[in-house]
Structure 1
């Protein structure tokens, strides 16, 4: 069929009976209070028994006898889901044919049993047969009227229609196959539609009753035509010869009979029957396809049954365990018992898969304990990469005193750096009212165990060790006080800097020299002994962050930025992911010279970060006109490319490639030249991650931040250095795609956190992250895909206009 053809059926050629399905009644029944009762039972206490009377009217006259559904008394909601087939055929209908539906309650007297009625035309104003679900508003206390025009139209008036009706029409098209399905997007759309439905119902109240009826669908549209018209058309549809495709409204729903059969089959095969079963070639391919699913993918009934059937033969494949545990009916005691027995004998899984078992999907305490036993094999360095998510996983434990909690505390008692970060991660979550008790309990267990371990193992020195961590809290409290005083000072930035130095060296002089060294919250292995007031300053911004220079116990200094009034947990998460991805790339021998500076949220609206000497690209371009001119100042080389050393240019290219890939995967938005920084050695890095997972305050953002000035610094789009940049991007992208399950699992564990861009819609954010990996492509196809992304980003004109407007705004500010 060509694109210009339009295929349809004529109603006069369809020799099939009129068929439709009465589904359900939506809304609350009106309350009935009557003292008259034959058996003495008040009628208001009786359970309603409802049926729907269906009658066909042709040109205002009833045609044939009315048909009734069965009695339904198990609601609300009242669901008949009953298929009604009339004796009249489609070829006998006229353009003014109507169906009249009246709902009756037989539990009341005849004069009180009428609930309401509604009428609907079978053909629309374009003379096309109506198909799919129709939602009819009932006229309370009135029988459906089949006259022309009817006095009980089921169609909602146009001025009363809301967003919900438009969504229901789209769902109708989707269920009939007229909208292409997209698995992850469909789930989000249906969830949003449910929220809109709940919202509209709460606003409109329950003043109306609606009857949902599902009309039969055909392969093509059905257009009304009277019998006997002389048209040269395809042969008519016969009820005995031709096959007509009719949409099944129960498609995709659980079949109760099939579900019961599967349970019986599982009960028969719990013993030794399945032990020797081996999958066929096609079954093996299906299993391998399932094992490659991302952790966010929901398994279908057939897939779950397939994995259960061959569970014994899959025990040697460690990647299969998490998928197998998703197949278990945990409500079945015997099945759950067998699953746990097999788990203990399964090939030991990797740490990244153990993280999946700590997600909210798995509620079994035994499964979560097994996951912790796998984590015990990881060393402190690897475990610290996931510590932020492991603390969040405490939300999904069934008790405050869980095995995961004790495992983290036990590790902390052996590693002071681990203990410091654990303490701060827990402290930042104590403010969450829903889980305050759980995190407070963890904090208390950590305090008790650490103090006991430190005292028993190291005596007085151990006690001082632990006290150095406790004093971190005192330090941050003092810095909050300093920050408030500085912000409250009237005057320009210089006045505020003078106030900061006065406060540090005067009123709170204990900040200049600490009585005892304190472990730096950002780097617990570093002991800090005080602040140098003369080298401390503030940044020119709304919150006036403090830039503090600390003395260290070894005679050196370290600089940190302290912010009060800003939630830094999102920045903390992004920098953690940058650090993790840097580690994953280096394990594949690809060092892209990233700068994963340290960030630590010490509360809901406060935190600190490592200060990296650098300058923004906006400042560099303003003073030096180009990135190359700036790098020539620090790494000149007349023999090198563009007058700079080859090593410096290579560092710049690699860092640009690394952050281009990472910011694309994490969907980092609000990228402009003020939050792209460049170090003297050529390393470029990003800061300020207020928008992630696809959110962006600017319209039409490019897929990744790659401005023309960065391309020019590589010699332009035709240079060999730009080609090398694209090669590094594609290599890094494929390496990170291999670890997509790990990254997705880590974000899945953050689903319950209060991080703004995750808490807004956790499932949507994780699915958008999954989409960025393009797991449907092989390595070669993903290279072509990413190269197209780079070209699209470089050629994007609108972001350049936005960047220019941003520079003007900064200038006038």
Structure 2
């Protein structure tokens, strides 16, 4: 069929048509030619070879917007407030989103704000969140033009101006390139459904030539349709460019567009008249009656070669090998098996509609290339040669550098190969065991077998290395059993220092077993703790309450297995207690009854709306009530918070209710030796974080005393009895704020309680020495632990000069107050020593330097303890569990030498003592507390 020609068609336009038709003819002739060897090669690229993102350029929106009659605006007032109603070139923005199989792929991307003057042209490239190699064949881009209206229901007041959906690949599976003309469906948001209602190229409807003969396209419109693919080829560079002829061509095309627009307007008016008179029976095309025929021009990226879509074929997963050798990685082993349910109403019976599906990616750890390289490097045929292998001086230095790494530092592939190669030589070095375990590929049966055989030959490791082997990184049962064997040589007092972390380490035992019951029964760590705790009541007391807190943790689906594990360990512990000493089990039961009674009293007083004096009288009445069995306790009962102390009753008249939202109770118990033991009991507060800090302070005090450095620390006892209740030992003391306000200065407070006129400051030498040492110890410890929210209310001072901190609600660098100094050393504390130039302050600094350098030597132990607490559901660790250990490590500054570390801490002391914001924070806190009072 011949195309109609316009009489004034320029020569350049005529030249385009024969060139395209001749090219098609030539290709057709070549395809049937018997001499196929002379055919031109057709070069293209596969989509899987193009690792580039999909880009789309939003060019311009063209179309004539009809003027809305005033009567229509009165009927629909919302139309009056649309931005496009007032201005035909109003500011619009465009969003684009990828869709496939009627599902969105990623989030939509948006054009930036742009003010229009004469036309709506964005000319903005948008990067879609998918690369070409990952794009499916039926990928579509849903493009929506958004208008603004203040009366819209959406939060951002947007309404759809129009939408269009365009496919990324054409019908032949070729990636679309260059300029694309997309029809805009007015007042519709683009949808990416497989049968979309907003296609960019709607299907052409067949017209009835009898009824709509007067409504056929004009010659100008027909000519524009014929020229459109040729113009696109010209833009793509498939047709040579001749500037002077192209200018003439484009001027002629512009005239055709003007004529086509006029013809369309007249045809629309005629169509409406015929429809109103009933002279048109069939519904005409949508384009004929559409007064707002908007078109959006978009650009796809152009490439030198056509890109053909090719599907990627994945090799079948090794199902049999995976099922025979389950993964040892805890993160992968903890994942549940994938399940697919048939839906509601289809399943019959329990588990009848569940289909187990194997996921080949689950459990595959490591890089196959690295595994192959490791097998070649660690060939087991050279195992006998490695026994006598010794490093040269250069390699020895490299090994020493690896052995000096802290527990948080991972090893490179080269370092792992180096440690494995000289594993027999390193058996004499106890620091090398943890590095060796990290270097073993435990998925390799031969390699893991060699590693297990060499473990008994290793030099006995320290406790800190044994704790590291019990962490979440190591899940091999033989390695964990070796670490437990080292812990068996520790005495009960040393074991108490790490018991809190050892209970948390039970969480990582379950990765080797399918059920919590198996983990509790066969775990070497669980059996060790149960055996030792059953033979030592103090150890068993704390083990019991640590387990009870974990069993009482907040309910969560992810923690249900862990809670069952702790419950089974508690059960086996009670069974062992019944065999070894049944009286101890009865004592633990009586402790539980005491805690239940105290919790009920604390809840009743907290919920009471009476004033504080009335609450105090209510507390005294409840303590005297014989039903609660607190006024007299027979036989004597060891306190859960301190089992070395047995109580026989309480003093109700000495009880108190503190002024706080939680209304903590102060109860003074009567000990069996006639003494007093005051403690605080709280309900509604999670004390596990404070319990951890106090445990670390007790450990650090023990480490310092091993170096003959007694800093007179006062680590009072804290025990969490549940996830929201616990007891705190009450130390008779006063806050620095109260001492300053009552005695005008802290120095006057110490003079009042410990006078000595022979001393320069009027305070006994022993008291001043205690104050200086305790200040130094707590300054260093609170800096390492990153304790925040320090003010004069939670800095306490005992009459004998013992200084200590309370309320550890913010640790690991968290600070609710802005510009707080890194270490709390206020001027009130320094004034007691006689100022920054006094001999006492110099002595304080020396104690700080000694304590800091001493604790840096045990940094690995402290870091390993914190790594075991990562999953302990402690508030400040739970916020960023992956950074908790790193925050402590940063404050040790292990990269510095001892001299550099001392200079660093000296700068901290100077900065903290002269910090202005610390003084401002203290004054603001005093003002707020006074206002509340």
TM-score normalized by structure 2? 0.62
CA positional deviation for 1:700: 1.6
Q: 1:790 aligns with which of 899, 909, 929?
A: 909
Output aligned runs, 1:751-766, within 5 Å. Answer: 751-766=870-885
Q: In 1, Cα distance between the equivalents of 2:178 and 2:449?
A: 53
Output aligned runs, 1:656-695, within 5 Å. Answer: 656-695=775-814
Match of 2:71 in 1: none
Larger of the two Rg values belongs to structure = 2
| Matched position secondary structure for 2:837 | coil
State whether residues 641 and 717 of structure 2, in contact with CA within 8 Å, keep that contact through their aligned partners in structure 1.
yes
CA positional deviation for 1:274: 1.5
Q: In 2, Cα distance between the equivalents of 1:140 and 1:464?
A: 83
Q: In 1, Cα distance between the equivalents of 2:402 and 2:731?
A: 45
State whether residues 631 and 650 of structure 2, in contact with CA within 8 Å, keep that contact through their aligned partners in structure 1.
yes
Match of 2:542 in 1: 421
Q: In 2, Cα distance between the equivalents of 1:753 and 1:601?
A: 13
Output aligned runs, 1:32-431, within 5 Å. Answer: 111-114=171-174, 151-152=298-299, 260-268=372-380, 270-398=382-510, 399-401=519-521, 402-431=523-552
Q: In 2, Cα distance between the equivalents of 1:116 and 1:556?
A: 89
| Matched position secondary structure for 1:337 | helix
Pair 272,574 (structure 1): closer, same or farther in 2 beyond 3 Å = same
RMSD: 3.1
> For residues 730-787 of structure 1, what are the alpha-carbon distances to aligned partners after superposition, in whole Å with 9 as ceiling and x for unaligned?
1100000000000000000001111010111112121011010000011111000100
CA positional deviation for 1:255: 8.4
Match of 1:436 in 2: 563
CA positional deviation for 1:153: 6.7
- Whether 2:920 is the aligned partner of 1:801: answer yes
For these two proteins, the number of residue pairs brought into alignment is: 606
CA positional deviation for 1:309: 1.1
Q: 1:741 aligns with which of 835, 844, 860?
A: 860
Match of 2:831 in 1: 712
Match of 2:579 in 1: 452
Pair 26,572 (structure 1): closer, same or farther in 2 beyond 3 Å = farther
Pair 270,528 (structure 1): closer, same or farther in 2 beyond 3 Å = farther
Match of 2:869 in 1: 750
State whether residues 54 and 132 of structure 2, in contact with CA within 8 Å, keep that contact through their aligned partners in structure 1.
no
Q: 2:51 aligns with which of 10, 18, 23?
A: 23
CA positional deviation for 1:400: 2.9
Output aligned runs, 1:538-549, within 5 Å. Answer: 538-549=657-668
| Matched position secondary structure for 1:271 | helix
Q: In 2, Cα distance between the equivalents of 1:117 and 1:807?
A: 70
State whether residues 660 and 705 of structure 1, in contact with CA within 8 Å, keep that contact through their aligned partners in structure 2.
yes
State whether residues 579 and 596 of structure 1, in contact with CA within 8 Å, keep that contact through their aligned partners in structure 2.
yes
Q: In 2, Cα distance between the equivalents of 1:265 and 1:414?
A: 49
Pair 578,374 (structure 1): closer, same or farther in 2 beyond 3 Å = same
CA positional deviation for 1:466: 2.5
Q: In 2, Cα distance between the equivalents of 1:391 and 1:575?
A: 17
**More divergent stretch after superposition (336-345 vs 258-267):** 258-267
Pair 418,770 (structure 1): closer, same or farther in 2 beyond 3 Å = same
> Where does structure 2 lack aligned partners over 5 or more consecutive residues?
1-48, 56-96, 104-130, 140-165, 180-198, 202-228, 242-295, 303-365, 511-518
State whether residues 104 and 113 of structure 1, in contact with CA within 8 Å, keep that contact through their aligned partners in structure 2.
no
CA positional deviation for 1:566: 0.3
Output aligned runs, 1:570-589, within 5 Å. Answer: 570-589=689-708
Q: In 2, Cα distance between the equivalents of 1:694 and 1:578?
A: 17
State whether residues 51 and 132 of structure 2, in contact with CA within 8 Å, keep that contact through their aligned partners in structure 1.
no
Pair 667,103 (structure 1): closer, same or farther in 2 beyond 3 Å = farther
Q: In 2, Cα distance between the equivalents of 1:662 and 1:547?
A: 28
Q: In 2, Cα distance between the equivalents of 1:74 and 1:382?
A: 60
CA positional deviation for 1:464: 3.1
CA positional deviation for 1:104: 7.8
Q: In 2, Cα distance between the equivalents of 1:117 and 1:481?
A: 74
State whether residues 825 and 912 of structure 2, in contact with CA within 8 Å, keep that contact through their aligned partners in structure 1.
yes
State whether residues 115 and 140 of structure 1, in contact with CA within 8 Å, keep that contact through their aligned partners in structure 2.
no
CA positional deviation for 1:541: 1.2
Q: In 1, Cα distance between the equivalents of 2:594 and 2:720?
A: 14
Q: In 1, Cα distance between the equivalents of 2:881 and 2:132?
A: 42
> For residues 573-627 of structure 1, what are the alpha-carbon distances to aligned partners after superposition, in whole Å with 9 as ceiling and x for unaligned?
0000000000000000000000011000000100001110000001001111111
Match of 1:237 in 2: none
State whether residues 682 and 725 of structure 2, in contact with CA within 8 Å, keep that contact through their aligned partners in structure 1.
yes
CA positional deviation for 1:660: 0.3
State whether residues 489 and 499 of structure 1, in contact with CA within 8 Å, keep that contact through their aligned partners in structure 2.
no
CA positional deviation for 1:277: 1.6
State whether residues 349 and 374 of structure 1, in contact with CA within 8 Å, keep that contact through their aligned partners in structure 2.
yes
Pair 153,787 (structure 1): closer, same or farther in 2 beyond 3 Å = farther
> Where does structure 1 lack aligned partners over 5 or more consecutive residues?
1-20, 34-43, 45-69, 79-101, 120-138, 156-253, 455-462
CA positional deviation for 1:552: 1.5
Q: In 1, Cα distance between the equivalents of 2:909 and 2:813?
A: 17
CA positional deviation for 1:24: 5.8
Q: In 1, Cα distance between the equivalents of 2:135 and 2:373?
A: 25
| Matched position secondary structure for 2:431 | helix
| Matched position secondary structure for 2:799 | coil
| Matched position secondary structure for 1:511 | coil
CA positional deviation for 1:492: 2.5
> For residues 414-455 of structure 1, what are the alpha-carbon distances to aligned partners after superposition, in whole Å with 9 as ceiling and x for unaligned?
10000000000000001344111011011101111111211x
CA positional deviation for 1:74: 12
Q: In 2, Cα distance between the equivalents of 1:26 and 1:595?
A: 64
TM-score normalized by structure 1? 0.71
Match of 2:323 in 1: none
Match of 1:488 in 2: 607
> For residues 263-303 of structure 1, what are the alpha-carbon distances to aligned partners after superposition, in whole Å with 9 as ceiling and x for unaligned?
21202455212222211212111111111111011111111
Q: 1:504 aligns with which of 600, 617, 623?
A: 623
| Matched position secondary structure for 1:386 | helix
Pair 502,257 (structure 1): closer, same or farther in 2 beyond 3 Å = closer
Match of 2:726 in 1: 607
Match of 1:11 in 2: none
State whether residues 51 and 133 of structure 2, in contact with CA within 8 Å, keep that contact through their aligned partners in structure 1.
no
State whether residues 670 and 677 of structure 2, in contact with CA within 8 Å, keep that contact through their aligned partners in structure 1.
yes
